[in-house]
A and B are shown apart, each in its own frame.
Chain A
Amino acid sequence: GENVGLHLPTLSVQEGDNSIINCAYSNSASDYFIWYKQESGKGPQFIIDIRSNMDKRQGQRVTVLLNKTVKHLSLQIAATQPGDSAVYFCAESPLYNFNKFYFGSGTKLNVKP
């Protein structure tokens, strides 16, 4: 599959601080990216997506940044809460081919109270 990977396997942050989770990809043809959150014992849950014609997209307390030059995307979580503790995956696919996503290795986010 395509090489979609994460820099940091574990990230610990203090409650209330901002979190930044990073992801690198190697396929320059990748056009569409999604961040998923996976809580313990559950399936992945969609957080936010971004297409390659954008470099930033904001949601509720989350922002995804895409840097196509260096094939890097990040997920920023503002005012991190204990409920944000989970494993976060980036996933990519060619645009409009939603049949198959390649997931990265995952980063575990620990939020300390």
Chain B
Amino acid sequence: EPEVTQTPSHQVTQMGQEVILRCVPISNHLYFYWYRQILGQKVEFLVSFYNNEISEKSEIFDDQFSVERPDGSNFTLKIRSTKLEDSAMYFCASSAVGANTGELFFGEGSRLTVL
């Protein structure tokens, strides 16, 4: 069964460092998303991406964040200068075009720990 894969599964970084989280969405999906989940809290929308541009973004997704689809398979989230409060589980998700459903397929997440 096709799945969304994310790397790394866990990254520890120092405050102020740049981090890139990588995702390989399901191959025939064209909508891509990043969500995050601070430990014990709800899942929060960060950004959606379609046709090589951001469709929507939340107030969390400030200038420190960026997304990119550098090739035909990867979808990345970059945090330029990490802060302690960026520590969270980051989930990538993808969905199919024309599915007439909001079913998002989530990866297993990348845990980011900022020290």
What residues make up the interface of A, taking CB atoms closer than 8 Å to B?
A: 1, 32, 34, 36, 38, 41-46, 49, 89, 91, 93, 98-106
Interface bits B64-98 vs A (CB < 8 Å: 1, else 0):
00000000000000000000000000010101000
B28 proximal to A (CB < 8 A): no
Of the candidates A32, A43, A98, A105, the one whose C-beta lies within 8 Å of that of B106 is A43
Chain B contact residue count (CB 8 A cutoff): 26
In the bound complex, what is the Cα–Cα distance between A102 and B56 (angstroms)?
A: 13
The CA of A56 and the CA of B105, in the complex, are separated in Å by 24
Nearest-Cβ distance from residue A90 to partner chain B, whole angstroms: 10
A98 touches B42 (CB 8 A): no
Query: Are B44 and A99 in contact, with the CB atoms below 8 A?
Result: no
Residues of B within 8 A of A41 (CB): 108
Cβ-defined contact, A101 with B104, below 8 A: yes
Given contacts A43-B93, A44-B91, A49-B101, contact A100 B106 (CB under 8 A): no
> Is the Cβ of B102 less than 8 Å from the Cβ of A43?
no
Bound Cα distance from A98 to B55, whole angstroms = 10
**Can you list 5 A-B contacts with CB-CB less than 8 angstroms, sorted by A residue number?**
A1-B58, A38-B43, A46-B104, A98-B95, A101-B102
Q: How far is the CA of A69 from the CA of B1 in the complex (A)?
A: 39
11 additional A-B residue pairs with CB within 8 Å, beyond A91-B43, A99-B56, A103-B42: A1-B44, A43-B4, A43-B93, A49-B101, A49-B102, A98-B31, A98-B95, A99-B50, A100-B45, A100-B48, A103-B45
Residues of A within 8 A of B102 (CB): 32, 34, 49, 93, 98, 101
CB distance from B112 to the nearest CB of A (A): 15
Smallest CB separation, A73 vs chain B (Å): 14
B17-56, CB < 8 A from A: 31, 33, 35, 41-45, 48, 50, 55-56
Closest Cβ–Cβ distance, residue B4 to chain A (whole Å): 8
Chain A residues, Cβ within 8 Å of B45? 1, 100-103
Residues of chain B within 8 A (CB-CB) of A105 are 41-42
Top-9 shortest CB links A-B:
A43-B106, A99-B48, A103-B43, A98-B102, A46-B103, A99-B56, A99-B55, A105-B42, A103-B42
